Structure 1
Amino acid sequence: MSLKYAVLAALLEGEASGYELSKIFDVSLANFWPATPQQLYRELERLARQGLIEARVVQQQRRPNKRMFTLTEAGRAELRGFAAEPPRRPAALRDELLIKIQAMDGADPAATRALIEERMGWAQGRLDRYRRVRARLLDGRTEEDYLREADRIGPYLTLMGGIAFEEENLRWCERVLAVLSRRVPQR
């Protein structure tokens, strides 16, 4: 999949500037499709040339003018077609930490523990951020009410996936640390 569909999906939220889209990516899409602002701006230009989005310039006082992007009907149709297609296959997990764990035998156990603890910190940070986003989306409603009443539930469902991923990341890290603490040094 290309960044194209992630940008089109982000624009389902409504008109947005490139800066606003980068914030949407940070909050809503980064748990499954990260992108740098530079990648986003290049993709916005490409999508506009293809007629899948429209751009309009907003004049601003004391700030540079900004471009606001919206989906065109062609963009919505493209996104609907993409959403209806089965995925090619699930993404493969590529994680440098897992290679380090695979090769850890004979390495300094303290260094391995430090790597796991660092991963736990990252996972906890993302989990905390996702939970804050969840609370904002729910806005005092129960999850059941939100899922029944909200205009769009896709962002919430993907957020649930990000939360589950980070919770499992933390469980795995805790398990690895427990194994390392019980392990008798090998000679």
Structure 2
Amino acid sequence: MSLKYAVLAALLEGEASGYQLSKGFDVSLANFWPATPQQLYRELERLAGDGLIRARVVRQERRPDKRMFTLTEAGREDLRTFAAAPTRRPTAVRDELLIKIQALDGADPAATRELIEERRTWARGRLERYERMRDRMLDGRGEDAYLRESDRVGPYLTLLRGIAFERENLHWCERVLTVLDRRAARAGRG
């Protein structure tokens, strides 16, 4: 999948500036498709050139003009075609930390512990942010009511995946730290 479809899907929410899309990626899509602002702006230009989105300039006083982007019918059709196409095999996990853990037997235990604690902190922060997003989306409704009544459930369902992913990251970090503690205790006795 390319950034193209992530941008088109984000524009299903309605017209947005590049800045708003960048913030939206940071908050909602980052749990499954991260992009830098530079990548996003390049993709917006490409999509506009391909006629899949439309850009309009909004004049602002005391601030630079901003461009607002919307999906065109061609963009909606392209996104519908993409959404209906068979999915390629699932993406494999590519995580540098896992390579370091694979090699941990010859590494400094304190450094390894620090890496895991850093990942745990990162996962906690993202999980808290995702849970706040879920609460805002639900807006006091139960999940069943939201899923029944909401016009769009895709963003909520992908958010649930992000929540599950970060919960599993936390669980894994706790398990690794427990193993490291037990090994350190055993080495201290030996």
- Normalising by structure 1, we get a TM-score of 0.97
Shift of 1:182: 1.2
- 1:102 counterpart = 2:102: yes
2:145 corresponds in structure 1 to 145
Aligned residue in 1 for 2:26:
26
Deviations 1:164-185 (A, max 9, x none): 0000000001011111111223
Q: Which residue of 2 is the match for residue 91 of structure 1?
A: 91
Structure 2 gap ranges (5+): none
Q: Which position in structure 2 is the counterpart of 1:71? A: 71
- Structure 1 residue identity aligned to 2:80: R
Paired position in structure 1 for 2:9: 9
Following TM superposition, by how much is the alpha carbon of 1:61 offset from its aligned partner in structure 2, in angstroms?
1.1
Question: What is the percentage of aligned positions where both structures have the same residue?
Answer: 79
TM-score for the superposition, normalised by structure 2: 0.96
Counterpart Cα distance in 1 of 2:143 and 2:27: 19
2:178 is matched with which residue?
A: 178
The unaligned stretches of length 5 or more in structure 1 are none
Cα distance, 1:86 vs. partner?
1.4
For each residue in 1:119-144, what CA deviation from the matched residue of structure 2 results, as whole angstroms up to 9, or x when unmatched?
Answer: 00000010011011111111111111
More helix by share: 2
Aligned-partner residue type, residue 137 of structure 1: M
Number of residue-to-residue matches in the alignment: 187
Question: What secondary structure sits across from 1:185 in the alignment?
Answer: helix
The residue type paired with residue 128 of structure 1 is E
